[in-house]
């Protein structure tokens, strides 16, 4: 039917599986906690190190946001495919 939509549905389902994986979520939470702790305990004079820690925090959060967006795209694609199938059935009859 719509190969791009079907691929989006598959990616969305896979992203939801990853987001729901307890081990992966624990790892991301631990990474964020470690980075925050390192940032809080870093010497104030180490501006370059602090900037690197902030960049790593942002990267960790961007990863999570990317999964969330992929899940949403999959949901939209699912709805679109459902709509297209209903229209197709209506006109096929």
pLDDT tens track for 40-80 = 999 999 999 999 999 999 999 999 999 999 999 999 999 99
Decide if pLDDT at 93 tops 70. no
pLDDT higher than 60, residue 91: yes
> Which pLDDT value is given to residue 42?
96
Residue 53, phi then psi, degrees to nearest 5:
-65, -40
Q: What pLDDT, on the 0 to 100 scale, is given for residue 92? A: 80
- 18: buried, middle or exposed (CB in 10 Å: 19+, 13-18, 0-12)? middle
Residue 31 belongs to what H/E stretch? helix 22-41
12 in Cβ contact with 75 (< 8 Å): yes
Q: Give the confidence band of 1 by pLDDT, cuts at 50, 70, 90.
A: low
d(CA 19, CA 13): 10
Q: Residue 1 in 3-state DSSP? A: coil
Q: Give the predicted TM-score (pTM) of the model.
A: 0.79
Q: What is the pLDDT of residues 18-29, one digit of tens each?
A: 999 999 999 999
Cβ burial 24-55 (10 Å sphere, 16+ → b, else e): eeeebeeeeeebeeebeeeeeeeeeebeebee
């Amino acid at each position: 039917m719509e190969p791009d939509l079907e691929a989006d549905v598959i990616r969305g389902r896979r992203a939801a599986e990853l987001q729901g994986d307890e081990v992966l979520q624990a790892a991301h939470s631990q990474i964020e906690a470690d980075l925050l702790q390192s940032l809080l305990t870093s010497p104030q004079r180490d501006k370059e190190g602090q900037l690197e820690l902030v960049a790593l925090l942002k990267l960790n959060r961007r990863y999570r946001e990317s999964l969330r967006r992929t899940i949403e795209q999959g949901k939209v694609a699912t709805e679109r495919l459902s709509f297209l199938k209903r229209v197709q059935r209506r006109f096929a009859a």
